Chains A and B, each alone.
Chain A
Amino acid sequence: MSELSMFDVLGPNMIGPSSSHTAGACRIGKVGNKMCKGDISHVRFLLHGSFSQTYKGHGTDRALVGGILGFDPDDERIVESFAIAKALGIKFEFLKADLGDVHSNTVKIEIQKSSGEIVEVMGSSIGGGNIVITRINGLDLEFTGEYFTLVVPHMDRPGIVTKVTAALAKHEINIAFMKVYRHNRGKEAFMIIESDNVVDQLTMDEIRSLDGVVNTYSINLK
């Protein structure tokens, strides 16, 4: 974890009642929103451990739906998130699940896009509103959203990492941390790039157009 700011200690500003069960849940939901670029027709939230036991009393359900709608943890619309989602025609359901040997506050979000494609995001709320994303589309990985995060699904072949980092360098984006994950050799893989500054649309588009890059997702959590 990076050095704490005064606003990490006296903060975050948030909708109550719980930094882990409400604010953290909202942030995991927001990662879901970013990973489907807001294109949602149906969402299933699989709640594990403490999330499954106390989600109603902590407003975890409303916070998750608020996050899926792209709200930040201090957005007062979280309270009305069910009604807002329904008005947008988004279906959602909550299921209790055993997600295995994971943190007690873990949720797996299954998003069905309008095309029918399924996007899956799993994350844990680890305290104080902080989160860890642990799986995307069946691939185990790890990032916290503490930095501006760029998720780049790509084909696992030589030279792709260089091309992506060169594009970032050209636009003066400084990489703080970077990890590469893959299912199998030569198949789809993920780059997780954490940077100090936000990656603008122009840079995103340039990376997206690179041969071997499948998509780009920018995740900026408050």
Chain B
Amino acid sequence: MSFNSGKEIIELCHNENKKIYELMIEREIALLDTTEEEIRAHMAISLEIMKKAIADSITEDITSISGLIGGDAKKVYQNESIKGGSICGPMMKKAIAYSMGVLEVNASMGKIVAAPTAGSSGIIPGTLIALQEEYDLPDTAIINAMISASAIGLVVSKNATVAGAEGGCQAETGTAAAMAAGAIVEMMGGTVEQSFHAASTSLKNILGLVCDPIAGLVEAPCEKRNAIGASNALISSEMALCGVESIIPFDEVVGAMYKIGRALPFELKETALGGLADTETGRRIKKEIQSK
């Protein structure tokens, strides 16, 4: 079992009457001489890490190493000042809080699953766990979704990049959102084509997004961009499940993302020399942190 593109995954799913995660499990078994049980047990550990990070972030007082972020996930989760508790609705509110929370845990040297990177590690757990709670889904469904998400991330890794230093934030939080969106559509009963429409839409929505972290740290604006990434994945899944299609196919969107990433100046690719990092406030914070 081998595939290098979204197109190949769609064809294989049809020809073999399989789900994305089933293809990915077959590929993993062939690649590493492992078993489905081992794969599922390993993924269950990753899921527990994700759940623990979320639980810690909404109950404990978290501060990042630099002191720049912390406590915002809890604010969103616990807030009751908005009438009805949320403008976006209870499930979206959770997805926002959870995705931010994982980033806070990451920034405070807690344990996370890079998904696909540490800087974008909030989007997949934030969306999947919020949906699990909303629809009372079993862990098996979430593990299947994580495996399908990894197949989409694999296509991006093979044909482009998921590194902010190479492709900007679009490569990190854009890929994470695409992985989440495609997996969510499959988990919620959509077709494989719909999965890739959702993945395409997520990535298209933030094409060109630069990586400009303040003081070079995986903290701000990363945390809020994970919240946007989670929302992006949910909005894109909803559109796809309702039959809205992406005009540009997934593989071409990935190609466009890669070209844009390479065209971005190096100041806007994780070097902290441009964008928000190079604002008056960004420079002041950097000086303060480095003189500590």
In the docked arrangement, what's the CA distance between A53 and B219, Å?
16
Q: State the CA gap A20–B213 with chains docked (Å).
A: 15
Q: Which residues of B from 1 to 56 have beta carbons under 8 Å from A?
A: 24, 27-28, 31-32, 39, 42-43, 45-46, 49
With a CB–CB cut-off of 8 A, which chain A residues contact B66?
Answer: 56-57
Interface residues on chain B, number (Cβ under 8 Å)? 54
Q: Which of A1-9, A168-176, A185-193 contacts B (4 or more CB under 8 A)?
A: A1-9
Partner of A6, one of B39, B114, B121: B39
Whether the pair A5, B32 counts as a contact (CB closer than 8 A) is yes
Stretch of B147-155, B191-199, B249-257 with 4 or more beta carbons under 8 angstroms from chain A: B147-155
Contacting chain B: which of A72-80, A110-118, A159-167, A212-220? A72-80
Given A6-B147, A127-B165: A14 and B112 interface contact (C-beta under 8 Å): yes
B83 at the interface (CB under 8 A from A): no
Among B32, B46, B106, which residue has its beta carbon within 8 angstroms of that of A17? Answer: B106
Indicate if the CB atoms of A14 and B65 lie closer than 8 Å.
Answer: no
Q: Closest residue to B117 on the A side, CB-wise?
A: A19
Q: Does A22 contact B (CB under 8 A)?
A: yes
- At the interface, yes or no: A59 with Cβ under 8 Å from chain B? yes
- B residues 173-220 in Cβ contact with A at 8 Å: 179, 215-219
Residue of A3, A13, A14, A57 with highest tally of chain B CB at under 10 A: A57
Given A57-B289, A58-B65: A16 touches B110 (CB 8 Å cut-off): yes
Helix, strand, loop or mixed for chain B's interface?
A: helix
Question: Is B124 in contact with A5, judged by CB distance below 8 angstroms?
Answer: no
Instruction: Name B147's closest neighbour in chain A (CB-CB).
Output: A6
Instruction: Please tell me if the beta carbons of B163 and A128 are within 8 angstroms of each other in the complex.
Output: yes
Contact B217 A57 (CB under 8 A): yes
Closest to A12 in B: B114
Task: Indicate if the CB atoms of B49 and A13 lie closer than 8 Å.
Answer: yes
Chain B residue numbers with a CB within 8 Å of A4 are 154, 157-158
List A contacts of B96 (CB < 8 A). Answer: none
The main secondary structure of chain A at its interface with chain B is mixed
Bound-state CA distance A128–B115 (Å) is 11
Residues of B near A18 (CB, < 8 A) are 118-119, 218
CB distance from A124 to the nearest CB of B (A): 13
Nearest CB to that of A196 among chain B residues? B33
A17 touches B107 (CB 8 A): yes
In the bound complex, residues from chain A placing their C-beta under 8 Å from that of B241 are none
Q: How far is the CB of B213 from chain A (nearest CB, A)?
A: 10
Q: Which residues of the other chain, B, contact A9 by a CB distance below 8 angstroms?
A: 116, 150, 153-154, 157, 162
Let me know if B242 is at the binding interface, CB within 8 A: no
Q: Is B108 located at the chain interface by the 8 A CB criterion?
A: yes
Q: Within 8 Å of chain B (Cβ to Cβ): is A87?
A: no
Q: Which of A10, A22, A62, A127 contacts B146 (CB 8 A)?
A: A10
Tell me the nearest residue of chain B to A2, going by C-beta: B31
CB <8 Å contact, B118 and A16: yes
| A50 sits at the interface (CB 8 A) | yes
A50, chain B: closest CB distance, angstroms: 7
Q: How far is the CB of A57 from chain B (nearest CB, A)?
A: 4
B284 at the interface (CB under 8 A from A): no
Cα distance, A61 to B272, chains bound together (Å): 20
Known contacts A6-B39, A7-B42; is A56 also within 8 Å of B65 by CB?
Answer: yes
Q: Which chain A residue lies CB-closest to B113?
A: A13
B105 interfacial contact with A, CB 8 Å: yes
Task: Mark A19-34 against chain B: 1 for CB-CB distance below 8 A, else 0.
Answer: 1101100000000000
- Residues of B whose CB lies within 8 Å of any CB of A are 24, 27-28, 31-32, 39, 42-43, 45-46, 49, 64-66, 105-119, 121, 124, 146-147, 149-151, 153-154, 157-158, 162-163, 165-166, 179, 215-219, 272, 289-290, 292
15 A-B residue pairs with Cβ-Cβ distance under 8 Å, sorted by A, are: A4-B157, A9-B162, A10-B153, A11-B115, A13-B46, A14-B112, A16-B108, A17-B106, A18-B119, A19-B114, A23-B114, A56-B292, A57-B289, A127-B165, A129-B114
